[in-house]
């Protein structure tokens, strides 16, 4: 157990062609606005690069806006992104004239892109888009070329030292979320009913349909959290509230580890369990296959909506962290799919073994208690980081 806890702590511990200066000095000012977050590692890297760039091009006028602790700056970022028709899921967010560069990888990729935009504006000129917008004045668009308008973000799969920890975090949280006694007992009862059937093909179809439908419900649940946080934007109060919820949830899990020796689910009452078991029995005993198939889907949706009470904390914490990572929409949903795959893995293993061996088995109370212990520690750490060091959970 000590090795497991140590491993989890370890998972969170990682967190050009030259243009003559005379040309820059004779050109119009180059207006830059950098939106950054306190403790954000990518922001710090970009600030170092921009300091060097200002030495090279002295007519650069740079303004910085911190958004983690300043709600007005966060709202300004949201307004700027809307006016530029650019998604701003995270920081750093740099505006040069009216061109946006989202994210920062290194000098060779993002840095080169920024410098090319600067060179373009040395020739064509630009105005202070963010400054003018902040002063609520209407301005014409900056003269610019059509090139260099893509978002400077590493695509999914281009993992670097600072980004590879997000998949690890996804796997760790999803695995902890997956050891859910509230969801496991329903699957075990369904398996016991399926093992009494003579038609093995029907057994496999109904069982996999239940698991697949459960995964869809959870995916929709995660998507709802994600879109809520993306809609709310960079509001420090929301982040702190989620952090406080995480601290409370972590404390609850640790308490459950101490007092709930059997690892039972407390979200579902005895009467609810009896009703669910009765419905499962009625559905599986349907003689018409399609009635049983449809009934399993409806029941899976209904049961999982009830059981979401047992696992609302981790998805909220995870999706809040995901929104801080500065990804594009495609990447967000890829991570949600990865989360669902890991989350459903224990169900798939239990079901597959039961169907192959024709014997039902499940995870015992000790494993459930261990999940409460490890999960409580991880959730508590994440909550504290969201409150005091949000930059430490920015992985994108």
* Percent of residues in the chain assigned helix, strand, coil, to nearest 5: 65, 5, 30
Contacts of 10 (CB under 8 A, 6+ apart): none
**Number of other CB atoms surrounding residue 48 within 10 Å:** 13
Residue-level pLDDT at 370? 73
Helices (H) and strands (E) in the chain, counts: 15, 4
Length of the chain equals 396
CA 390 → CA 163, 321, 387, distances in Å?
A: 15, 9, 7
Residue-level pLDDT at 364? 55
Q: Where are the beta strands (DSSP E) in the chain?
A: 30-36, 60-66, 93-96, 99-102
Q: What is the pLDDT along the chain (396 residues), one digit of tens a residue?
A: 444 444 444 344 333 333 333 333 445 788 899 999 888 888 989 999 999 999 888 888 899 999 888 888 888 888 888 888 887 667 899 998 888 898 888 899 899 999 988 888 776 666 777 877 766 533 343 333 333 233 333 343 443 434 447 888 888 888 888 776 666 667 777 788 787 777 888 888 888 998 898 889 889 989 988 888 877 766 677 778 888 888 887 887 788 778 876 656 655 556 766 777 777 778 877 888 888 888 888 888 877 776 666 666 778 888 888 887 767 788 889 999 999 999 888 888 888 888 888 776 655 556 666 767 777 787 788 888 888 877 676 665
Are the beta carbons of 307 and 267 closer than 8 angstroms? yes
CA 292 → CA 191, 202, 210, 274, 299, distances in Å?
A: 15, 10, 11, 19, 10
Q: Are strands 60-66 and 93-96 parallel, antiparallel or unpaired?
A: unpaired
CA 47 → CA 60, 65, 179, distances in Å?
A: 13, 12, 42
Contacts of 331 (CB under 8 A, 6+ apart): 155, 156, 396
**Number of other CB atoms surrounding residue 291 within 10 Å:** 11
Closest CA to 180 of 227, 210, 214: 214
Which domains are delineated in the chain? 16-134 (3.40.30.10), 165-393 (no CATH)
Residue-level pLDDT at 58? 86
Q: How far apart are CA 98 and CA 114, in angstroms?
A: 13
Residue-level pLDDT at 336? 94
Q: Identify the burial level of 175 via C-beta atoms within 10 angstroms of its C-beta, where 0-12 means exposed, 13-18 middle and 19 or more buried.
A: middle
CA 170 → CA 53, 88, 181, 300, 306, distances in Å?
A: 36, 22, 20, 24, 24
Q: How far apart are the first and last CA of the chain?
A: 30
Closest CA to 91 of 245, 246, 239, 242: 239
Q: Can you name the residues that pair with 31 across neighbouring β-strands?
A: 61
Contacts of 336 (CB under 8 A, 6+ apart): 219, 222, 223, 226
């Amino acid at each position: 157990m000590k090795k497991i806890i140590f491993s989890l702590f370890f998972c969170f511990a990682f967190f050009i062609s030259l243009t003559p200066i005379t040309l820059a000095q004779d050109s119009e000012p180059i207006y830059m606005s950098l939106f950054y977050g306190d403790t954000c590692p990518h922001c710090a890297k970009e600030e170092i690069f921009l300091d060097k760039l200002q030495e090279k091009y002295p007519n650069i006028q740079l303004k910085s806006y911190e958004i983690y602790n300043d709600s007005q700056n966060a709202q300004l970022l949201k307004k700027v992104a809307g006016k530029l028709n650019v998604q701003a899921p995270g920081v750093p967010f740099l505006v040069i004239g009216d061109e946006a560069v989202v994210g920062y990888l290194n000098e060779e990729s993002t840095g080169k892109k920024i410098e090319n935009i600067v060179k373009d504006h040395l020739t064509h000129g630009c105005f202070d888009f963010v400054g003018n917008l902040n002063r609520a004045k209407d301005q014409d668009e900056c003269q610019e070329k059509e090139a260099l308008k893509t978002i400077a973000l590493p695509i999914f799969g281009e993992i670097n030292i600072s980004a590879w920890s997000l998949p690890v975090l996804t796997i760790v949280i999803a695995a902890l979320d997956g050891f859910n006694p509230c969801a496991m007992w329903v699957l075990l009862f369904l398996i016991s009913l399926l093992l009494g059937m003579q038609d093995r093909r029907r057994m496999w179809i109904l069982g996999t349909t239940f698991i697949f439908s459960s995964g869809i419900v959870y995916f929709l649940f995660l998507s709802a959290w994600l879109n809520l946080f993306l809609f709310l934007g960079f509001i420090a109060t929301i982040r702190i509230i989620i952090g406080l919820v995480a601290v409370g949830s972590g404390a609850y899990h640790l308490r459950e580890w101490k007092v709930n020796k059997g690892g039972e689910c407390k979200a579902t009452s005895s009467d609810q369990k009896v009703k669910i078991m009765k419905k499962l029995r009625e559905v599986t005993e349907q003689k018409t296959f399609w009635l049983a198939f449809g009934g399993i889907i409806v029941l899976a949706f209904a049961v999982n909506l009830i059981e979401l009470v047992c696992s609302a904390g981790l998805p909220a914490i995870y999706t809040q962290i995901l929104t801080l990572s500065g990804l594009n929409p495609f990447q967000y949903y890829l991570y949600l799919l990865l989360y669902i795959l890991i989350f459903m893995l224990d169900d798939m293993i239990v079901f597959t073994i039961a169907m192959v061996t024709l014997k039902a088995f499940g995870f015992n109370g000790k494993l459930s208690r261990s999940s409460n212990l490890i999960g409580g520690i991880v959730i508590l750490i994440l909550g504290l980081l969201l409150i005091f060091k949000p930059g430490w959970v920015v992985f994108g």
